[in-house]
Each structure stands twice: as structure tokens, then as C-alpha cells.
Amino acid sequence: MNLFKTGTGCVLLCFFTFVHLSAVAGAAELRAAHVTQIINDVKLLPGQAAARAAVVNDSVGAGTAVRTGVDSRSELTFSDLTITRLGANTVFSFNGEARQVDLGSGAILVQVPRNGAEVKIRTAAVTAAITGGTALFESNKGLPTKLLMLEGIGRFYPTGHPEQAVIVHGGEMVMMTPDGQITRPTKFNAALVYKTSKLITSFATLPNADLILAVIDQQQAELSSQNGPTNQPPRDSTGLDTVTLATAAMSPPPSSGGAKFGPPTAITSPNPYVITSGTQINTDPMITTNGITDFGKIYRGAALDGPLATWLGSSPSSFDSVDFVNSSGGGFNNPSSNSLPIPGFLFAALQLDGDPTVSNSSGYPTLGFASQGNINTSDSGAVFTFGGMQQVALVTLNGSINLSGISFANFGELFIYARGTGSSVTFVAPVSNLNRVQIRAEGDIQVDSPVTVNGTQQNQRGFKALAGNNLTVNSAVTSTGGGITVQSLGGIAISSTAQLRTMLDSMGNSGQIIILASGSDTSVNVSGTVQADQAEVDIRQTGIAGQTTLNNATVHGDVVKISALGTNGALNIGSGNVLGADTILKLYATGSNGTLNFLSNVTLSSPANILAANTINISQGVVVTINSAQQADVFTNNPNYFGFGGTGTPANTGTFGGVGAKNPQPLSAAPPLGGPGQGP
């Protein structure tokens, strides 16, 4: 989760490598290329045919476009040994006869072998012509288009007007601003780019590496002669941090400096800031709405930037340190490494109105939006995809988050956190085709819209909600392959309209369902459906006088554990329940004064059924039917029922039906319940 401000446009980088030579009219064509490397999601778009996944050695001809996905890259090698490397979220094609590369959007690296002919990189607005050398080029809608020459000579001009060309030498960069102005060439830190860009470091050594190193040596010699030994990179005159723009494919070390690091400054106007469908976001980070650009910052983790709450300008709270019962991460103040670095933006207040355009050629995993006050939405019906980001975070420092009238679809993970005493999350925003959803609130959480998640990475899928007070689920939450965790420091209600279900994915994986409340005298009330296909369901209340109550609930899993574990805890099995397990069913109230109360007829369907409580009460006239091949195992100090070793009478207690129950053993002999989600 991170938050940052950035400006109207900012274009990341593209790399092209070429050799010194003069452009000749009869230059050889760029004939068919072959795919020589694939990283993650790369697709071929052959004319009017349907897109398909690329594979190594695929032939790519003129008229076939290549598209890379989030955190994806690819390399193509042409018949004349020209090499083209594509960054994330890039669309590319070429015109062989004109020796021209067409960049729809994204970043690209092209290398022309020594003595090769001039190659042009063209967008609708600007063209770069490389006469030998190595260059970087990137173009995204609404953002500056930037060319960085690592070695050799390039020309940079408005498309169709080569007479207006600006000459760019090795170690220099130039860009066209969104309003069509071309800046003068200025130096950038070629050494840092060469060491950190994923379009270089993710692939084999470039054939022109010796020429790039010569430019780097020359830059270092110039810096030493002018300023003495220094680690500070050359700066451009645009006011943008050239080095961090050029190396956005990888977070630069803190010694490199740069305006992108350090605590963020809140965007206070407009208040609230409204993100619309016309908003342009670049993970450099810049955000532009209605022609006004603001900048953000990049959070690199607690080791470099301190606790996340402190970095955002707040004080860490005790609730920040509370984590999910089954979490293996570092908590809010120290996000896990797979979430870093986080470019983000801090606002005085925030409203979500329309899905923004997001450029993430750097491949950062997380995009963060933080607000000092509330985060709200308009009733626009917008579907938020955030450009397919891996992770998106919405965080308030001291305010509630109210999401309704919009929906979320088709990206990775959504993280929502309402910080501050009494700050709550109201979630009325349908979710579809996300990998994971996590919701935190120091106050209440209410989930009133369907959530469907279906991630493929074991530790980055499923649904989790954690409330400091009460948590209510009124809708369907479905997770394929991953788990569902509903946790509260207060009470929990799974209403009659709620359906919590984990399902098998194509590999046969499923996830556990954990419902856990720890308020001292609060309740877990379950009236809906809780079902884990071939996985565990664990419903428990751990507060001193907490209660777990089931009415009209359907609960099923491979293992089912339902409990109230406080000293005076009570597990109440009310009316209309359907309870079953494929392996074992446990009903526990094991506190020193704990009670298991059967208040209405119920059937327990499981190969093994274990009932354990200090006191087990079966109300008068109630029958607990054991639908199994073997009798239920009972562990209690006070068997308040009749028959099967009970001390009650038909006049005031109920009994067991079906195959019945074994004579009770002392509570101390009961097998352990096992931790949440940790098996029988």
C-alpha cells in the first residue's frame, strides 16, 4: 500500500540498441522476427485473428502485433540480428520495408547490430530515428514520451516532420511533453540505468555493451573532473527526476537520492480529490486529473523508510499491529517484500468516480491511495480495473471507507484499510475476477455485495476481513483455490443472505474458512451458508464470555470445528441447522464453565463426531441425531441429557438419536481442538 503524487504525464523507458552507421536509402528490410525470450504474459495479435500466447521461436511477421502484460517482458530477434525488447504493458508492431517500429504504448529496447541501417521508432506524435547506438524509448497516453540514448546518435522529431529533429548523443535524453513540446537534450545517469533496468538485467548481455560502457566511463570522468568524485547522477532541466524515471524498472538504492522518496505530501486541492475515467496515473509516481498534475512518493519498506503509518504522516496504532490469524506477512507497518516498492499518493480526502488509466512500465507490484480523511465513491457504476495492477491499496489515516455504486474487476489484489478509532468499511462494491481481497477496519466492517476471487498463487489469493469492532457479512463470498478468513476483535454476524464458500481450482486446491471473534462478551452468529469444498471450516469465539450461535445455518467441510472457548463460553445450536463434515465434526465449549447447548433438533452428519464441553445440555424434547456409522464421542463433566450415560430425565432434557453417543468421558480426556485452520 503506498501513495504518491505525480504529474500530467510521465513516460517510462524504452531501450533500443543500435550500431554506428549512416542511414541509406536502400537499407535492408526488417524481415520476420523470432521470439527469443518470454517473461510472464506475452501475446501475439496476428491481424484479424484471435490473440494467442507467444512461445519461444514463434515467427513474428509484419502485420502481427505483440502485446505484453503486467510485469511481463519479451525479446524478439530479427533476421538482420536487430534485437527488440518489450517492457510491461507494451503494444508493438513493425514495418519491415521502412525499417520502422510502431509503438502503440509502453517501453521498448531495440539493438541494431554494428553497421546496421537506421531504425525508426514511431508513435502517432513523435518519432525517434536511431543511427547506430543504444537507446531507450517509452510512450504512454497522456504522459511525456522519452528517449534515452545509451550510446550512439539519435534523432527525435514530431512524426512527419524530420526537419524539426533534435540530435541526441550517447548519455543524453530528450522528451516530448503532453502538449507537444520537445525539450532540449540533457544528460542522465547511464551507469545507473545500465545496472538496474529490467530490459537489460533480465536478458543476456547486449552485443553493444562495450560501447555503452565507454559512454559510462566518459560520464564518470566528466563528473570527477568537474565536481570531484561523486555518486550523484546528472540531472535534467525538466524538473523531473531523470534517474528514477529511467530506472523505474527497479527501485534505485537510497544513495541515489531523487524526489520520489521520502514522506509524501498530501494533495489538498481539490478536496476531496476525485479520480475519474480521465485521470492519468504513472507509477513514477504522477497523477493528472483535469490537466493538473500532482506527484507522489515511493515507499521502499520499513528498513529504509520506517513503519508505513509513520511514513504516511500518522502514528502507528495498536490495531496496525493486529494481523490475520493465519497471516504470514509483516503486517500493515511492514508490508511483505512482494508488495514493495509501493508508489502511492496521499490526499486530504478521496472520491472514486471513474476507472483511471494507469501506466506501470516499471512493473511495480502495488499502487497505493491514502487519504487523511474519508474515502468515498460516486454512484457512477464504474468498473475499476486500475490498469490490471497486481495490488491496489485504499487506506485512510483517520476516516471511514464507503464503497458503493462501483465495482472492481480484472486485476490482482485489493487491500482496504480504514484506520482510526471508529473508522469503518462499508463494502457495497461487487468484486469479480480478482486474486485476493483484504479488508481491515479499526471500527466495523459490513460486506453487502458479492465478492468472487480466484487467484493462482498460493499465498496471494482468497478473501480476508479483520474488524476492530463488529463484522457483518450479508452477501456471497466465493473463493476458488484460496481461503476465506472473517476475523473480529468484537463480534461477527454471518446473516441468512450470506454464503461463504471455497471451491476447488483446476489443480484440485481449495481453501479453509475461518470465522474468528475474540470480543470478551460478543457473539458469532451464523445463519447463512459456510461451505469449504475438501477443506476445513473453523468457527470459533475465544472471548471470556463469548457465544457462538447457529440458527438456520448450513455448514459443511472436510473438517468442521465450531466452538466457544472462553471461560464462560457458550456454543448454541439453534433451529434449522444442517451440519456435516466429510472427515470429522467437532463441537467444543471447553472453558471451565463452558456449555454446549442443543436448543432444537439437529442432525450431525460426519464419519466422526466429537462433542466436548464442561456442560452439555440437550433441551427438553430435542433430539440430536448422529448420522454416522459410529456413535458420537462425548467429553463432558456434566452430561445434562437422558440416555447414553446422561444424568437428565425425559421430563426435563432431550437425547441422542441415530446411532447415538458413547458414554461420556471427562472433559480433560477430550482431544485438542487444534488451532484455526490447522486440521482436526
Within-domain flag for 476: no
Within-domain flag for 99: yes
Give the contacts of 402 (CB within 8 A, at least 6 positions apart).
374, 375, 376, 377, 425, 426
Write down the pLDDT at residue 255.
30
Mean per-residue pLDDT over the chain, rounded: 86
Is pLDDT of 16 > 70? no
Within-domain flag for 292: no
Q: What is the distance between the alpha carbons of residues 383 and 362, in angstroms, rounded to a whole number?
A: 24
The answer to whether the peptide bond before residue 46 is cis (omega within 30 degrees of 0) is: no
Query: Mind listing the pLDDT tens digit for each residue in 522-536?
Result: 999 999 999 999 999
CA distances to 572, 660, 673 from 665, in Å: 21, 15, 16
* Domain stops at, among 194, 219, 244: 219
Within-domain flag for 547: yes
Within-domain flag for 212: yes
Write down the pLDDT at residue 28.
53
Return the sign of the alpha-carbon dihedral for residues 221, 225, 231, 233: negative
Q: What is the distance between the alpha carbons of residues 66 and 247, in angstroms, rounded to a whole number?
A: 23
In which domain, by residue range, is 192 found?
Answer: 16-219
Within-domain flag for 94: yes
* Domain stops at, among 219, 241, 265: 219
Instruction: Residue 92: give its domain's CATH number.
Output: 2.60.120.1440
Within-domain flag for 658: yes
Is pLDDT of 455 > 50? yes
**Number of domains, the chain:** 2
Write down the pLDDT at residue 250.
31
Query: Mind listing the pLDDT tens digit for each residue in 375-432?
Result: 999 999 999 999 999 999 999 999 999 999 999 999 999 999 999 999 999 999 999 9
Give the contacts of 110 (CB within 8 A, at least 6 positions apart).
15, 16, 17, 18, 82, 83, 84, 85, 101, 119, 121, 130, 135, 137
Q: Phi and psi (nearest 5°) for 200?
A: -110, -50
Distance between first and last Cα of the chain: 36
Within-domain flag for 346: no
Whether the model pTM is above 0.95: no
* pLDDT top residue among 611 and 252: 611
